[in-house]
Amino acid sequence: MPILILGVDIISENPKRFAVVSWFNGRLEKKGEFTFYRLVRFIRAKRPDIIAMDNIHELGDELKKFLRALPQGTKLVQVTGRPGEQRSLWSLARENGIRVGDKFDPYEEAKVCALLASKGVGYEVLAFEDEVIIKVSRGRSQGKGGWSQDRYRRRVHNLIQNKVREIEEALRKADIPFDLEVEEKDYGLARGEFKVYASREELAGLIKPMHGGDVEIKINPVERKSLEFVPLKSEKAIQVRKSVIVGLDPGITVGIAALDLDGNIVAVYSERNMAVSDIVRFISDIGHPIILATDVNPAPGLVEKIARSFKAILYVPRESLRVEEKNELLRSLGISVDDDHQRDALAAAYKAYLRLKPKLEHVDAKLRELGLMKKSNEIKALVIQGYNLGEAIMKVKLRERPKEEIKALPEEESVDVTPYIEKIKELERTIEMLERENQELRAIIEEQKKKIEKLEDKLAYYDEEVRAKVIKSREIEIRDKRIAYLEKELREAKAIIEKLSRDLVLAKRMHLLELKGSAVPLKVLENLTWKEIERLERSAQIKKDDIIYVVNPSGAGKSIAEHLVEKGIRALISAKTLPDNVYGVLRENKVPVFYEDEIEVKRVDEFAIVDREELERAIEQKLAQWEEEDREKEIQEFLKLVEEYRIERIKELKRKAEEEG
């Protein structure tokens, strides 16, 4: 696998500048001098496998920021060892056959760091637990109250619930253990918080963060309480510890309890936001868990995971323990605990112990008879693991049995060794032949090695060249997109500036006309609605003899027209046809109505005017027109009444004539 390592060493403290050397499949290359932020950008672009340093604390106050900025899969390695156990960089170089030039050259130190890391020397710096917190919550503010805000809030809570279910299903399918804490609201969820027992790398591509919409998903790795240093080459340690039965209650607050194999309480503890590594470390400090117990059925994923890591037997009750049963178990133990999590953990451990108690008491009785009570803990642990009592006792005894001294073999009687000598000679000839064949094969292998080295050099050069071309093409593509985006923004900005310039000139002219008295200002309503009227009332108020200009009157009702009449407006100008009921109310109350084809309106945003003489003439003509129409209407109605009276009179005369005849 091609591997990229960056060796980094500090050049200056103020300002911080770093020397960087890259190692790619055996090829070293000086990358130059970097500021802190340029170094971070470079690392995020290159995504190296390892960042190698002789002392990570050279990063100073920027260390935490640097660790958070590292891309997934990139390790930070301190090649000189753990803090307090660090060795000289140059002594490590000598041990690993690395030639050193100028020891005062930062680039030389960066090169040595990269080469040491390539040989597996150093300790990886771990800043994060193998745990992730996933928070699902509302993405936007709900605004102020009202029916629409209530509907929107309920909709968002349903969306949060759906997203929580999606994440839960994805984690279950991937067989990743987790704990979930939710806040229910409006038949949905106000928020959901997952504590996932997996690293960021395991979740990559499975769950993605979301920002800017109705629902927000944040994925944050859990930081360790202190930095840990793990060797690049794994180390093993064997430790003999007392066997215990552990009860575990996982969740946001973790409860842990431990009993020894005699049923005595060893530990009871609880802590909020306890990392998996802290749980494992706490249990390891108590002893070796032979059984890991839970109070619920089925067992939580975290309990299964920790049981596997200790190779412990998992105890799960037939049914989840009820609160009354847990309290009764604690009363029989004669102990009180600080919280429910400690209670649940201790109840689980004690329930597991009670299941095994008859078998363990039988083992103790037999061991008393045999005088082996000193080995009670070891033998009972083996019995719990599945050995019968006899096998367990033998296994413990064999561990302690001293090695028997090898007795000298007795002298054998003299025998004829001639056939054996002949066989030895034949084998020596075969060995000689095989050695010659081995030499020939070694020569062929050496030749093949040289060819492989040449091909690897070519491949490394080609890989580096391809990598550089890909990065360059990506940078060009990003730059081109950025240029196109900025050009578009510039065009839009120029268009806005031109429009604003025209509007400013027009506004100045309109204001000048108004000051001269040759123009009348209009109060503008974008829509003829109560909301717009209230907005206008708050900003400018509608007063007697105001001229109102309406852009969109559709949807207005009779009550709005009556309100404007009560305010005493002098006239109304509309860009579109008014609804009949609005027009009828205004006409009835002698409030002139005009459309834009009848009178010229000059407008800039919220500011509009009309020519005073044109407006006065139009109002006079409109009122005269309506008066003429009303007079004509009255005449028509009078004539209609006269005609109706004439017809009725003729009918009456005819009826009288018929009666007299």
Give per-residue pLDDT as tens, 25-77: 788 999 999 999 999 999 999 899 999 999 999 888 889 889 888 887 789 99
Q: What percent of the chain has pLDDT over 70?
A: 89
Can you tell me the distance from the alpha carbon of 625 to that of 555, in angstroms, rounded to the nearest whole number?
Answer: 27
CATH topology of domain 515-641: 3.40.1390
Cα dihedral 441, 447, 452, 455 in deg (nearest 10): -150
The verdict on domain 243-379 having CATH code 3.30.420.140 is yes
pLDDT of amino acid 419: 63
Q: pLDDT digits over 496-526, tens only? A: 888 777 657 655 655 665 566 678 888 888 8
Indicate whether 417 pLDDT > 80. Answer: no
The answer to whether 103 touches 80, Cβ cutoff 8 Å, is: no
Q: Is the peptide bond before 298 cis (omega within 30 degrees of 0)?
A: yes
**Number of helices (H), then strands (E), in the chain:** 17, 20
* Residue 335: band (very low, low, confident or very high) from pLDDT cuts 50, 70, 90: confident
pLDDT of amino acid 239: 33
DSSP 324-348: HHHHHHHHHHT---SSHHHHHHHHH
Indicate whether 603 pLDDT > 60. Answer: yes
pLDDT of amino acid 516: 60
The answer to whether 329 touches 352, Cβ cutoff 8 Å, is: no
Q: Is 138 helix (H, G, I), strand (E, B) or coil?
A: strand
Can you tell me the distance from the alpha carbon of 534 to that of 540, in angstroms, rounded to the nearest whole number?
Answer: 10
Q: What percent of the chain has pLDDT over 90?
A: 26
Average of per-residue pLDDT across 578-592: 91
The answer to whether 222 touches 126, Cβ cutoff 8 Å, is: no
The answer to whether 618 touches 599, Cβ cutoff 8 Å, is: yes
Lowest pLDDT segment from 276-290, 450-464, 548-562: 450-464
77 φ, ψ to 5°?
Answer: -120, 130
The verdict on domain 4-121 having CATH code 3.30.420 is yes
- Helix residue spans in 72-129 (DSSP H): 89-95, 106-118
pLDDT top residue among 145 and 485: 485
pLDDT of amino acid 607: 75
| Cα-to-chain-centroid distance, residue 440 | 60
Say whether 243-379 and 4-121 share the same fold.
yes
Indicate whether 108 pLDDT > 90. Answer: yes
pLDDT of amino acid 122: 92
Indicate whether 14 pLDDT > 70. Answer: yes
pLDDT of amino acid 569: 92
Can you tell me the distance from the alpha carbon of 296 to that of 317, in angstroms, rounded to the nearest whole number?
Answer: 7
- Tokens 């108004």 — which residue? 514
Can you tell me the distance from the alpha carbon of 67 to that of 89, in angstroms, rounded to the nearest whole number?
Answer: 22
Can you tell me the distance from the alpha carbon of 124 to that of 433, in angstroms, rounded to the nearest whole number?
Answer: 50
DSSP 506-567: HHHHHHHHHHHTSEEEEEEEEE-SHHHHHHHHHHT---TTPEEEEEE-TT--HHHHHHHHHH
- Tokens 């717009």 — which residue? 532
Indicate whether 393 pLDDT > 70. Answer: yes
* Residue 292: band (very low, low, confident or very high) from pLDDT cuts 50, 70, 90: very high
Q: Where are the domains of the chain?
A: 4-121, 130-224, 243-379, 515-641
pLDDT of amino acid 175: 78
pLDDT of amino acid 141: 63
pLDDT of amino acid 515: 60
* Residue 145: band (very low, low, confident or very high) from pLDDT cuts 50, 70, 90: very low
Indicate whether 187 pLDDT > 90. Answer: no
* Residue 348: band (very low, low, confident or very high) from pLDDT cuts 50, 70, 90: very high
Can you tell me the distance from the alpha carbon of 39 to that of 43, in angstroms, rounded to the nearest whole number?
Answer: 6
CATH architecture group of domain 130-224: 2-Layer Sandwich (3.30)
pLDDT of amino acid 234: 36
Cα diameter, the chain = 181
pLDDT of amino acid 514: 56
Residue 13's alpha-carbon distances to 33, 59, 61, 62, 70, in angstroms, are 13, 9, 12, 12, 21
Instruction: For the chain, give the mean pLDDT.
Output: 83
503 CB burial (10 A radius; 0-12, 13-18, 19+): middle
Q: Is 230 helix (H, G, I), strand (E, B) or coil?
A: strand
Reported as half-sphere exposure (CB side, CA atoms, 13 A), residue 74 has a value of 22
Indicate whether 177 pLDDT > 90. Answer: no
Residue 651 burial (CB count, 10 A): 9
Average of per-residue pLDDT across 341-365: 90
Q: pLDDT digits over 630-647, tens only? A: 888 888 888 888 888 889
Average of per-residue pLDDT across 474-499: 88
